[in-house]
Chain A
Amino acid sequence: MPRHTDREYAAHLQQIREMLLEMAGRVEKMIADSVRALVEQDVDLAKRTIACDKLVNQSELDTDELCTVVLAKWQPMGRDLRLVTFALKTVTDLERMGDLAVNICERAIDLSSYPQLAPGEDIPKMSAIAQAMVRDAIDAFIHRDSDSARRIIGQDDELDILYTKVFRDVLDAMAGDKTRVARGIHVQSVAKWLERLGDHATNIAEQVIYMVEGTDIRHTSQAEEPKAAVG
């Protein structure tokens, strides 16, 4: 694709990309650190991660503002319009992902007084999948790779299955031993948030497909994926 004729416009679009990447990178680290804080019972790390959320919130505001300026001044079309709509939607997902990482950190602090999670438990498995989905969604954005984005969407099912299993296991444990109720509720909450992280990563992957191909696949199964978003 040739360069933009209007260099200021091109610079603003590039700035949107860079702001998204910076925000995504920060959120990706927050998620990784929140899970590490949980597994390793690292209260300091949990607190430092919670403090990062302010930066993520500010990134959302800054990106929204820049997108609004670009819409007002240049009225982008085609791939540029799709980038701006991608940014406007994705910052909302990223901001929510930051909030979920904060939630996990808060639970990590609460769970630090309970026995450590065993590596074989499903929470570490879920966190590995969720982190991979987030990382791959961001990579798909960087490389404008809609095929990778499609693969991410399929991984969400694994998280859903694991969440259902965690929910049942926690329920069984709590039913058999009332002293495990408090820990069980924390674990179930963390599992739910990891499952939601997968949902947000899926949203980003769907937006990557729209940004790259102009095809809106939301609310459709991949088998009945439409050819075009508009028309």
Chain B
Amino acid sequence: MTPKFQIQNLMAGFRERQILAGISLEIPPRGVTSIIGPSGCGKTTLIRCLNRMHEMDPEAYRTGTVLLDGQNLYHEDADPVLVRRRIGMVFQTPNPFPNMSIRENVLAGLRFRGRARTATNNNVVEDALRQAGLWNEVRDVLDGRSKILSEGQRQRLCIARLLAVQPEVLLMDEPAASLDPVATARIEDLIHNLKSDYTIVMVTHDMKQAARVSDHTAFFLNGELIEFDTSNRLFTSPRDPRTEAYITGRFG
């Protein structure tokens, strides 16, 4: 299987502070890969390097390469804006635009890119909301403000907004961290549904969630990739004692 991402000797950090210490990792396509590890291990920095968001911090640095379908995302001709279109990100706290309606929120990404067209807008909105598992809950209030939605619905609205621009990859940074168990279950169900069409890379502190949702898992520690394997293997019989210590709570 040709990997979706090929990460080669990726080093990244801020000024003198190194966070990623030469990561090499291949992420398979059309599936969920979870990145786990203790706070400060470089999980978020890694996924922010995957869609070139890391470099938006003026103090950030990076060396090494990230290939998406064999193309170097950091090639001098690669446009970071186009990269972020292909590789969208869902954040820990849902961030819909509060003064926009639900419909406008879904179309926001397209409007920013000048691709929203009235004739197809309704289809785009419905398709994206259906994919995000939100259509049946909001179909009658599409012109209401997003603030009428629950936290879990707002997170799915953000995912719908992302899906409307038809990305290839979804990066998720603790997508259910702020949600209650029912809303979390809906997000996990949504991830299960989306993984046949998208490559999903998810950062999570919740190992149980990583075990439930992901096909592959990478364990990071102090900026290093310690172990990458199928989630079935990694959560039952990890090869590295540091992974074993972390997943069984014998850490620190």
**Residues in A lying within 8 Å of B, measured CB to CB:** 1-6, 9, 75-82, 213-215, 228-231
Contact = CB atoms under 8 A, between A and B. Distances in A.
8 shortest interchain CB distances as A-B pairs: A214-B237, A231-B233, A77-B247, A2-B250, A230-B232, A78-B248, A78-B247, A5-B249
B230 interface: yes
A230 B232 CA distance: 6
Interface string B219-243: 0000000000110110111100101
Most chain B Cβ neighbours within 10 Å, of A4, A76, A78, A80: A78
Q: Looking at chain B's contact residues, is the secondary structure mostly helix, strand, loop, or mixed?
A: helix
Contacts of A1: 241, 244-245, 250
B240 to A, nearest CB: 11
Contacts of B241: 1
22 contacts: A1-B241, A1-B244, A2-B250, A4-B248, A4-B250, A5-B249, A5-B252, A6-B249, A75-B208, A77-B235, A77-B236, A78-B238, A78-B243, A78-B248, A79-B244, A80-B248, A81-B236, A229-B237, A230-B233, A230-B236, A231-B229, A231-B232
Report whether over half of chain A's contact residues are helix, strand or loop; otherwise say mixed.
Answer: loop
A75 B208 CA distance: 8
B211 interface: yes
A48 B233 CA distance: 46
Given A3-B250, A4-B248, A77-B248, 12 more contacts: A1-B244, A1-B245, A77-B211, A78-B236, A78-B238, A79-B248, A81-B235, A214-B236, A230-B232, A230-B237, A231-B229, A231-B230
A138 B189 CA distance: 43
A3 B252 CA distance: 9
B251 to A, nearest CB: 6
Contact of B235 (A5, A78, A213): A78
Interface residues of B, number: 21
B237 A2 contact: no
A76 B233 contact: no
A5 B250 contact: yes
Contact of B245 (A2, A6, A214): A2
Contacts of A78: 235-238, 243-244, 247-248
A1 B208 CA distance: 21
A9 B249 CA distance: 10
B9 to A, nearest CB: 26
Nearest to A13: B248
Nearest to B232: A230
A52 B251 CA distance: 42
Given A228-B237, A230-B232, A230-B237, A77 B250 contact: no
Interface in B7-54: none
A228 B233 contact: yes
Contacts of B252: 5
Contacts of A3: 250
A83 to B, nearest CB: 10
A1 B229 CA distance: 21
B207 interface: yes
Contacts of A80: 248
Nearest to B241: A1
A74 B20 CA distance: 31
Interface in B54-69: none
The winner among A4, A9, A230 for most chain B CB atoms within 10 A is A230
A79 B239 CA distance: 11
Contacts of B233: 228, 230-231
A5 B232 contact: no
A3 B245 CA distance: 9
Contacts of B229: 231
Nearest to B207: A77
